[in-house]
Amino acid sequence: MMQGVNTIIGIPSSVDLDAQLMLQVREGDDGSFAVLLEKYRNPVIHFTFRMVQDRAIAEELAQEVFLRVYRSRQTYEPTARFTTWLFRIATHLALNWLRDGKKERGQHRLDDDRDGEMPAREVPDRLPSMEQRMVYQARLQEVRDAIAKLPDKQRAAVLMHKYEEMEYSQIAGVLECSESAVKSLLFRAYESLRSQLAYMANGESK
């Protein structure tokens, strides 16, 4: 199965742990692929879900991401961080899906799929009232809508910045643009989000 990473011979120590696992996959070790899958399955699915806002499509895209990672094992070279490469594949697939207008075709699923989401985060009181739940759901919907309204690249940048806690340089690596371009994307994206969501800070209804 998987070797300890410290015992791997011939791999430069500067290569990150995930890239070392991927190099093991290249050598035919499917166990290392299973480790990477276990580690990044949820982040990738959550990212694609927030990009396309459809659970079934998000999982299909994530399957494609890991399938491509596996199929690229023979030619894999650790030229960048593994997560940069992984999220570059995920972002390309999600952006392609959005670009091809499949979003419109699957729009009905957005409403059908609400019950597929995590249960609403409980408010501090033991049992939230029906009204509190409704307010919470309405606000959650506004967050989803605000994210969905962002241009695709801005959305990808925000999701990586906020939920994956990526550095600007890594987001730039994923989106294949400069760090200053990423900062500009984020600046404009958060500006849009503030104009739509900042009223929530006052506990007001829109």
Residues that bind other proteins (CB under 8 A): 34, 37, 41-42, 45-46, 49-50, 55, 58-59, 61-64, 66-67, 70-71, 92-93, 96-97, 99-100, 113, 116-118, 121, 136, 139-140, 142-144, 147, 161-163, 165, 168, 183, 186-187, 190, 193-194, 197-201
User: Which C-beta is closer to other proteins: that of 14 or that of 202?
Assistant: 202
Nearer residue to other proteins within complex by CB, 16 or 46: 46
CA 192 from centroid of its chain's CA atoms: 20
For every residue of 82-134, DSSP letters joined together read HHHHHHHHHHHHHHHHHHTTHHHHTHHHHHHTGGGSPPPPPPSSSS--HHHHH
Beta carbon nearer to other proteins, 15 or 93: 93
Residue 71, CA distances (Å) to 40, 76, 97, 166, 167 in order: 17, 9, 20, 26, 28
Least distance in Å: CB of 5 to other proteins? 22
Give the pair of three-digit tokens for residue 137: 């759901």
Beta strands in the chain (DSSP E): none
Closest CB 30 distance from other proteins, rounded Å: 9
CB of 13 to other proteins, least distance (A): 27
Query: How many other β-carbons are positioned within 10 Å of the β-carbon of residue 44?
Result: 26
> CA torsion 86→89→92→97, rounded to 10°?
-110
How far is Cα 37 from Cα 94, in angstroms, rounded to an integer? 19
- In whole angstroms, the minimum distance from the beta carbon of 97 to other proteins comes to 6
Output 8 or 140, the one with its CB closest to other proteins: 140
Nearer to other proteins, 15 or 193 (CB): 193
Q: What is the DSSP letter of 203?
A: T
Q: Smallest distance from the beta carbon of 3 to other proteins, in angstroms?
A: 21
Cβ proximity to other proteins: between 8 and 34 the closer is 34
| Least CB distance to other proteins at residue 32 (A) | 14
**H or E stretch at 68:** helix 55-71
Instruction: Check: CB of residue 2 under 8 Å from CB of residue 24.
Output: yes
